[in-house]
Structure 1
């Protein structure tokens, strides 16, 4: 026991105060009364001087380079998977799987298989990434994950020009296997990013959320441009997956740039030092912290299950907030929204006419559902960068209240099958659009607050693990919300049977 204590003290002393910038370092300026980034009262520090022991402070993120890199990674963690979703029907269902037999079960239920192939490995790998300490740490996790994701993008692009008409089932198997591998790597990548950003002030966590939402806006705009351009399906698929590949490559290069940034090094050193004696560093194991082989973090034992449980008990409320926000949103978007039709049943599409009927209907969906959601979710996240209300302890109240959106959207003309519903409470399509706007802006705002607050509920030595836990509960919320969409049609049908009107 005494030897163990001595070893920990040696590890701690290896990251001594001399590693932090001094008053003569060009990074530093006179300290001010900036807020502590680990405040638990709901107030989050923004870019600016960070007060350190000894009266030293580090200047703000120069040119917001670190912020923009985290924003880029927010786009990168979602863009490859969103590409499969966005082009799924046009490219996979209507083109690649449209072989001699168009009634095959795997073609009719393609999106169910696609979702399962994505969410199960994503959730599993996010969980394993919490507990498994990989030698080489953060750099190896992220670079290998990006390499796998880029390889899947390249492989998918190469198959765009391969004629699979005679073997659609084997192409289906290839596609599902690709999605499994892609989202396994993405689970590690996304979870590692959340763990890393937890060591920084709250607005850097929000940068990742903003990137997630900007990714949705980008995909909606690309879809609209391609739809109006009427280009061929193979060219459009190449554009989608080519853009995903370029984004992943940019994320890889930007991460290399990030690890050389002085602002980044400062926060990583500070966080590693706080964890040196608590054995809670699961990302920087045996890693060259500064990227120059001068500061390699000494090996420490894996955190025990008891440590994880103790941290979970401290942060469970914040983790619940993350889960319930994403559960509520994914129980509605996009599955339920895309099944809400104009009222009354059989009404001719007469709202947004551009060219033929099919194009007008698709544009209306893209504008009112996808672009509407992602635009206002981004606005909500942006607002959270400047206004944080309510405090950490009170956030549970509004995020639970968001559950009311589920019955509200089910009360619209949500179609569960081929037969029209005999009761619809919200009949006006513009009420439906306004509901999406409110649901979206609350999602962006509350999700940003929840992800920013969660790591601040604990001591900085535990914030990395809580950040990774937040990433897991985010994915868990998405998966459980999607699973709930299979239950919602039965709820509506049951209510219809009991409806007295």
Structure 2
């Protein structure tokens, strides 16, 4: 017993020494202590006591590094969608490259009739984007337990960067329409396949941190769409028709990917991130160390046998692989909610919204800018705003029944946009013909999409245990992709009904 008192006394002195440097220095020292200590019984017990106090008072949060980690996740979120958005922005470049060279050289192709490859380009682009996105997001829900996170994220970023590098080079290389069409579709498949793994892995990684760290990923993705819309408007304004003008788009995507790779390399060196990335395993080791210490201090009866009157509460080993099905049962409401959000959104945007016509822009430039500004720019700006709002507040809560109700109510936007001045139309009348109606609907449609989707993605990993958070993030990303695919499918039905 004398040895036990001495041990506890020494432990108390070490804890006081750690706190003597002040709150800020203690917080930074604690994160370094977690990374460097061995697993001896005495030291892990000490770490557990110190971290409990630091986390209780939020003393381990070094403000500068806290903001740096937030910024890194924002850049990574930007890197997931900016390449694909810039790929879609350059649609006119791909259409021009698919012109029939014989008609162009002999008759100037002045008939205005699109070739077969030009007419099916949008359909094949959607198909080659959504199918790999859904398949590889689902695949990542399982392979993330077998392939390290570093390989999945860095490998995906490098692969996407290489695809855009080749695409940039191809701008200056002449090619027949059919081989170019095949090359373009293969590029789209690769971008969305690796993009799905990247997006799903990032949400899983953010699941290890506080809920607010899913918000910068969603916000970065929203900003990517805004950049793409501005690029589209800028292209119209300068009247860029030469293929060489699209080199800038692809180069911008390459630079963004490089920036994302550098940010991801820096991330593991941030104390704040290291604390949360190993917190679960640390708690597990601390728990076992405390159990061993308690066993040493248990009194023995007259026969020398240990008295095991105290109950031992089991804790889950973080090295065990969590069950995807078990995790889905815990967050199915949020998973289906984010799926429904994007089903409604993609169901009308842009299949319906991009077909609207302006009643104020007939015969003037507003008619040329109406869709790029009122549809694409407005949607992306307010979608980004909605995503960013979750960094300020998260209402309603993750267990509130109001959240799924608000998600379901968004279905009202489907008939509202169908009754706008969408052309051509065969069955439904035009009820909201004025441009103002369309703009108001678009504002509420986009901000609700960004806010509710970001809210669901933030709450998902917080509905499960700490060691299940990464898998939960991957599951939520899968249902997000499922919503995109379902939305693309139902958009054909909505268009026919008009």
Question: Which of the five TM-score ranges fits, normalised by the shorter chain?
Answer: 0.7 to 0.9
Per the alignment, residue 139 of structure 2 pairs with 128
The TM-score with structure 1 as length reference comes to 0.77
Per the alignment, residue 210 of structure 1 pairs with 219
Per the alignment, residue 93 of structure 1 pairs with 95
> Could you say what secondary structure the match of 2:392 adopts?
coil
Q: Is the Cα–Cα contact under 8 Å of residues 27 and 59 in structure 1 kept in the other structure?
A: no
- Give the C-alpha shift of residue 235 in structure 1: 2.9
Give the Cα–Cα distance (whole angstroms) in 2 for the partners of residues 486 and 276 of structure 1.
54
Give the Cα–Cα distance (whole angstroms) in 1 for the partners of residues 466 and 379 of structure 2.
34
- Classify 1:92/1:272 alpha carbon distance in 2 versus 1 (closer, same or farther; 3 Å): farther
Q: Is the Cα–Cα contact under 8 Å of residues 66 and 258 in structure 1 kept in the other structure?
A: yes
The match for 1:269 among 278, 284, 289 is 278
- Classify 1:105/1:390 alpha carbon distance in 2 versus 1 (closer, same or farther; 3 Å): same
Per the alignment, residue 246 of structure 2 pairs with 237
The reply on whether 1:67 has 2:80 as its aligned counterpart is: no
- Classify 1:29/1:241 alpha carbon distance in 2 versus 1 (closer, same or farther; 3 Å): closer
- Give the C-alpha shift of residue 29 in structure 1: 7.4
Per the alignment, residue 326 of structure 2 pairs with 310
Per the alignment, residue 341 of structure 1 pairs with 357
- Give the C-alpha shift of residue 225 in structure 1: 2.2
> Which one has a larger percent helix, Structure 1 or Structure 2?
2
Which structure has the greater CA radius of gyration? 2
Give the Cα–Cα distance (whole angstroms) in 2 for the partners of residues 98 and 273 of structure 1.
64
Give the Cα–Cα distance (whole angstroms) in 1 for the partners of residues 355 and 216 of structure 2.
32
- Classify 1:55/1:79 alpha carbon distance in 2 versus 1 (closer, same or farther; 3 Å): closer
> Could you say what secondary structure the match of 1:199 adopts?
coil
> Could you say what secondary structure the match of 1:426 adopts?
coil
1:10-409 equivalences in 2 (<5 Å): 23=19, 26=25, 28=27, 52-56=51-55, 57-62=59-64, 64-88=67-91, 90-100=92-102, 103-133=114-144, 137-164=148-175, 167-273=176-282, 300=319, 302-303=321-322, 307-342=323-358, 349-350=362-363, 353-354=364-365, 360-392=366-398, 393-394=400-401, 395-409=403-417
Give the Cα–Cα distance (whole angstroms) in 2 for the partners of residues 236 and 170 of structure 1.
22
- Give the C-alpha shift of residue 349 in structure 1: 1.4
Give the Cα–Cα distance (whole angstroms) in 2 for the partners of residues 458 and 367 of structure 1.
41
String of CA shifts for 1:36-87, please: whole Å, max 9, x gaps.
Answer: xxxxxxxxxxxxxxx9425554114425111011101111100111112111
Q: Is the Cα–Cα contact under 8 Å of residues 275 and 461 in structure 1 kept in the other structure?
A: no
RMSD over aligned CA atoms reads: 2.7
Give the Cα–Cα distance (whole angstroms) in 1 for the partners of residues 376 and 189 of structure 2.
25
- Classify 1:273/1:112 alpha carbon distance in 2 versus 1 (closer, same or farther; 3 Å): farther
> Could you say what secondary structure the match of 2:27 adopts?
coil
How many residue pairs align between the two structures?
A: 416
Give the Cα–Cα distance (whole angstroms) in 2 for the partners of residues 368 and 135 of structure 1.
45
- Give the C-alpha shift of residue 207 in structure 1: 0.4
Give the Cα–Cα distance (whole angstroms) in 1 for the partners of residues 432 and 343 of structure 2.
23
- Classify 1:362/1:260 alpha carbon distance in 2 versus 1 (closer, same or farther; 3 Å): farther
Unaligned runs of 5+ in 2: 1-13, 31-49, 104-112, 287-316
- Give the C-alpha shift of residue 458 in structure 1: 1.7
The reply on whether 1:479 has 2:485 as its aligned counterpart is: yes
Give the Cα–Cα distance (whole angstroms) in 2 for the partners of residues 55 and 103 of structure 1.
66
Q: Is the Cα–Cα contact under 8 Å of residues 152 and 178 in structure 1 kept in the other structure?
A: yes
String of CA shifts for 1:256-297, please: whole Å, max 9, x gaps.
Answer: 0111111111110114446899xxxxxxxxxxxxxxxxxxxx
Is 311-320 or 360-369 further displaced after alignment? 360-369
Unaligned runs of 5+ in 1: 1-17, 32-50, 278-297, 355-359, 493-501
Per the alignment, residue 460 of structure 2 pairs with 454
Give the Cα–Cα distance (whole angstroms) in 2 for the partners of residues 22 and 112 of structure 1.
62
Give the Cα–Cα distance (whole angstroms) in 1 for the partners of residues 446 and 372 of structure 2.
15
String of CA shifts for 1:433-461, please: whole Å, max 9, x gaps.
Answer: 11001101111111121111111112222
Give the Cα–Cα distance (whole angstroms) in 2 for the partners of residues 484 and 266 of structure 1.
44
Give the Cα–Cα distance (whole angstroms) in 2 for the partners of residues 468 and 348 of structure 1.
45
Q: Is the Cα–Cα contact under 8 Å of residues 427 and 497 in structure 2 kept in the other structure?
A: no
Q: Is the Cα–Cα contact under 8 Å of residues 419 and 428 in structure 2 kept in the other structure?
A: no
Give the Cα–Cα distance (whole angstroms) in 1 for the partners of residues 455 and 396 of structure 2.
9
String of CA shifts for 1:378-410, please: whole Å, max 9, x gaps.
Answer: 222222222222122221010110111011111
> Could you say what secondary structure the match of 1:389 adopts?
coil
The TM-score with structure 2 as length reference comes to 0.78
